Amino acid sequence: MTDSKIILGWREWVGLPALGIHAIRAKLDTGARSSCLHVERSEEFTEQGEPWIRFAIDPIARRRRRKRWFEAPIRDKREVTDSGGTRTLRPFIRTPLSIAGERYEIEMNLANRREMLFPMLLGRTALIGRVLVDPAQSYVLGQPKPEPKS
């Protein structure tokens, strides 16, 4: 039954509103379990006895010119195997995702994806039950609308 699920392409523009990211290009990857966000730099610290992470991102150019810093509690640390088979221990955070007019919370890990084409990867745990991916399509949602002026 697909009537409650939207069909999207293998790449789309999505938003991460809690991080102030109106639009970021994401690869929708049903072969990946977890989602991942590219970070330029990160450092872990403790806030009131709990583990947190401070991280820098540049959602548009990834050229370190528009880098912004964010902080979030670390929800978990798990080993992630990348597409080349390399396993690394990565921090995971939770944040709202905005996609196709919907907004819901997802879990994602933070890693340097500088060598990848997309600054964000949306894995199947973020898509399951909500989205169907048609690998023959791309940017079904179109270009992002201009960011609202504040």
Q: Do you know the residue count of the chain?
A: 150
| CATH top class, domain 6-134 | mainly beta
Tell me the C-alpha distance between 13 and 150, whole Å: 21
Phi, psi dihedral angles at 127 (to 5 degrees): -100, -30
Reported pTM: 0.86
Give the range among 4-18, 53-67, 69-83, 130-144 with minimum mean pLDDT: 53-67
- pLDDT tens-digit series, residues 10-66: 999 999 999 888 899 999 999 999 999 999 899 999 999 999 999 998 766 555 566
pLDDT tens readout for residues 84-128: 888 999 999 999 999 999 999 999 999 988 778 899 999 999 999
Indicate the domain borders of the chain. 6-134
Q: Which tokens go with 42?
A: 């990160």
The residue behind tokens 């080349």 is 84
Task: Assess contact for 119 and 113: CB atoms under 8 A.
Answer: yes
